[in-house]
Chains A and B, each alone.
Chain A
Amino acid sequence: MYGTGLLKGLSVTLRHMIGTFVTDVRKFPRRYFRDGVHPTRSPEPYLHGAFSIQYPEEKVPMWPRFRGPLVHLRDPETGQPRCTACGMCERACPHGCIKVEGEGKGKERKPTLYQYNVGRCIFCRQCVESCPFNAIELSRFYELACYDKDTIWDLPRLLELGDKEEIKEQGQFWGET
């Protein structure tokens, strides 16, 4: 009969409307998913029920492999950056957003200048993969919005971010190490 298709469609949206209230009741009185089990991350995917992320209050933890901005790693013994300014990352970067200068020879070589332009970075991880010294990695940090064009990060800042994100090894989660 003409018109049943319309009623079917209406029934689907009504079920969704009710479904969101059902999930609301289920997590009452909490307003947000504070325990970290988020709709996108729930192991059992469900069809009905609210799916929003209440962003500033609830943040989805990134997967271990998430590709965020670059960080530098420290040598666990000395606490110094592992980078030797070999320039492999600079050459590997498709966008030229890394600039490295260094001084010294061989193992003594240290970076004097390391500029990483996070504003141009496309987070492809090729710099990390090209690094022969296990010195850099991508972090899981993602809140990159800023009020001024403070997009060129230098070595101390990259090290600091690495400490904050607690990244110790390169390729930990990529099955390489």
Chain B
Amino acid sequence: MENVWTIENVWNAIGMALQNWLAGFLPAWLVTLIMDLLVIVVLLAIGIVAVLILSFLERKVAARAGDRYGPNRWGPYGVLQPFADAIKMLIKEDIVPHVADRFSFNLAPVIVTVGAVMTYAVLPFGRNMVAANLNIGILYFAAVGSLSIIGLLTAGWGSRNKYALISAFRSVAQLITYEVPLALCIICVVMLAGSLSTQDIVLAQQERGWFFLLMPGIFILYFLAASAEMIRCPFDLLEADSEIVAGHFIEYSGMKFALFFLAEYIHLFAGSAMMVTLFFGGWLGPWLPSWLWFLIKTFVVIFVFMWIRNTFPRIRIDQVLKIGWKVMVPAGLVGLAITGFVDKLIADTLIAGVVLFVCNIALIVGVSYFMGRAQRQKEMAAEGAALR
């Protein structure tokens, strides 16, 4: 590949230059090994830096929503606060409850974090900037992303704490439920793009327009399912602090707690990035270099997640499951059918897009109508219940 130095290409160019330099005095297999390890290190670094930024942003957004300033003691506008937090986490005592199952207790944070970091491999950070351009990229993402359930279950069981145990039950119930609509939405996107590779999905959106505009209904479904997958509000039942205190990481302290924290935000970043890839045209965008567009879009999505977190209460576990199985799975199936028919029957992309859009709006209105009717019936039944 030719080594071109532009802003668009700067990261690839650095990589190529390094590879060429190493190839000068090392055998080929060693160069490949070193380069692969380097990519892993870079991904880890991106993960950790993203967590530092996100934890700071989370606090700032929460503060601004509540008419406050948030952390502003360390550095200008408090930008050094995440480092102070990190140091605090590192020097805290590492407590293991003496009744805990030590092995699974210690293993859990590792599983969760590794599962989260692995998702970074298929994120298309920019044009030609994906660590592993797998042709089954999306499948890999969905599969690896749900690895953390095992970690959460292990943590909940190993802590030997009843709150943690309830949280572990919830994690299994909720995450498995939401895998299904998530997969259905992904299939819709894959059908339109005609590929499972994340790069190809982005390129398909160059031709057909952002999938968010084509399929708003599917997007909303995906948004809800993804926030359940990422354990974000209003689906953050696993760490419901008002009910089960902190859920699965109630007994963790110090660095192990920090690992859970890390995993949570890595998941947030990865989930938002994948949402951008699937629905907002990934790194597509005019003027600015592609990787910058990708980051901007991702942070906008993350902001929306934080905004929602600052506004909504939490859904109850039975309602989460009810919505998952009774609303989202059927709606996802209907969406799948619509997408399939439109994609196969209408050859012209523009007409197909319009039809798809109209069908999706109809889907949103229909689901909204049925849910609203159910809620109204419930409210009418509740009226006067105290006097009966």
Contact = CB atoms under 8 A, between A and B. Distances in A.
Physical contact A–B (CB less than 8 Å) = yes
Interface of A: 1-3, 6, 9-10, 12-14, 16-17, 19-21, 48-52, 54
B308 to A, nearest CB: 7
A48 B67 CA distance: 7
B376 to A, nearest CB: 9
A3 B234 CA distance: 14
A17 B308 CA distance: 12
The residue among B72, B311, B369 with the most chain A CB atoms within 10 A of its own CB is: B311
Interface string B52-71: 00000000010011111100
21 contacts: A1-B365, A1-B368, A2-B375, A9-B312, A10-B307, A10-B311, A12-B311, A13-B311, A16-B64, A16-B65, A16-B67, A17-B61, A19-B67, A20-B64, A20-B68, A20-B69, A49-B67, A50-B68, A50-B69, A51-B67, A52-B68
Nearest to A19: B67
The 6 A-B residue pairs with the shortest CB-CB distance, nearest first, are: A2-B372, A2-B368, A51-B67, A17-B64, A13-B311, A2-B371
A9 B233 CA distance: 14
A14 B307 contact: yes
Contacts of A54: 69, 72
A52 B67 CA distance: 7
Contact of A13 (B307, B365, B369, B372): B307
Interface string B73-106: 0000000000000000000000000000000000
Contacts of A50: 67-69
A49 B69 CA distance: 10
Interface in B346-388: 365, 367-369, 371-372, 375
A17 B72 CA distance: 16
B71 to A, nearest CB: 11
Contacts of B368: 1-3
B310 interface: yes
Given A2-B368, A16-B64, 10 more contacts: A1-B369, A2-B371, A3-B368, A6-B311, A6-B312, A9-B312, A10-B311, A20-B67, A48-B67, A51-B67
B68 A51 contact: yes
A2 B65 contact: no
B19 to A, nearest CB: 45
The residue among B64, B368, B372 with the most chain A CB atoms within 10 A of its own CB is: B64
A13 B308 CA distance: 9
Nearest to A39: B67
Contact of A16 (B66, B371, B375): B66
Interface of B: 61, 64-69, 72, 307-308, 310-312, 365, 367-369, 371-372, 375
A49 B68 CA distance: 8
A3 B308 CA distance: 13
A52 B64 contact: no
Nearest to A21: B64
A82 to B, nearest CB: 45
Contacts of B372: 1-2
B289 to A, nearest CB: 28
Contacts of B311: 6, 9-10, 12-13
Contacts of A16: 64-67
A51 B67 CA distance: 6
A3 B67 CA distance: 25
A142 to B, nearest CB: 22
A26 to B, nearest CB: 14
The residue among B65, B308, B365, B369 with the most chain A CB atoms within 10 A of its own CB is: B65
Contacts of A10: 307-308, 311
Nearest to B368: A2
A19 B368 CA distance: 32
Contacts of B312: 6, 9
A13 B307 CA distance: 8
A17 B365 CA distance: 30
A2 B369 contact: yes
A1 B308 CA distance: 19
A54 B64 CA distance: 15
The residue among B67, B367, B372 with the most chain A CB atoms within 10 A of its own CB is: B67
A17 B68 CA distance: 9
Nearest to A49: B67
Nearest to A56: B73
A25 B69 CA distance: 13
A54 B69 CA distance: 9
Nearest to A1: B368
Contacts of A20: 64, 67-69
The residue among A3, A12, A17, A48 with the most chain B CB atoms within 10 A of its own CB is: A17
A2 to B, nearest CB: 4
Given A1-B368, A2-B368, A2-B371, A13 B69 contact: no
Contacts of A51: 67-68
Nearest to A47: B67
A38 B308 CA distance: 30
Contacts of A2: 367-369, 371-372, 375
Nearest to A15: B65
Contacts of B65: 13, 16-17
A51 B65 CA distance: 11
